[in-house]
Amino acid sequence: MSKRAIARKLKISPDTLYRWIRDGDLDRDLDEAPVQYGPRPPVPTKLDAYKRLIQARLDAFP
């Protein structure tokens, strides 16, 4: 059975199946331990460049 056919049977994307194979997720017992994801890195905002200036103004003019 092809990988695409397996993905179709499981009702998942073929890319998901390829990623599971690549990452070795199919080698572990899925009932044994849940998948744990790490925290995501913070995403910089447009305001970050001005936070010091804003804080300085708020400190100077409460």
pLDDT of residue 20: 87
User: Minimal CA–CA distance to 10: which of 53, 23, 21?
Assistant: 21
pLDDT of residue 23: 85
Rounded Cα–Cα distance for residues 13 and 7 (Å): 6
Cβ atoms of 49 and 38 within 8 Å: the answer is no
- At 23, list the tokens: 């990452």
pLDDT < 70 stretches in the chain: 28-31, 33-35
In this prediction the pTM is 0.43
pLDDT of residue 30: 58
pLDDT of residue 28: 64
Count other C-beta atoms under 10 Å from residue 26's C-beta.
10
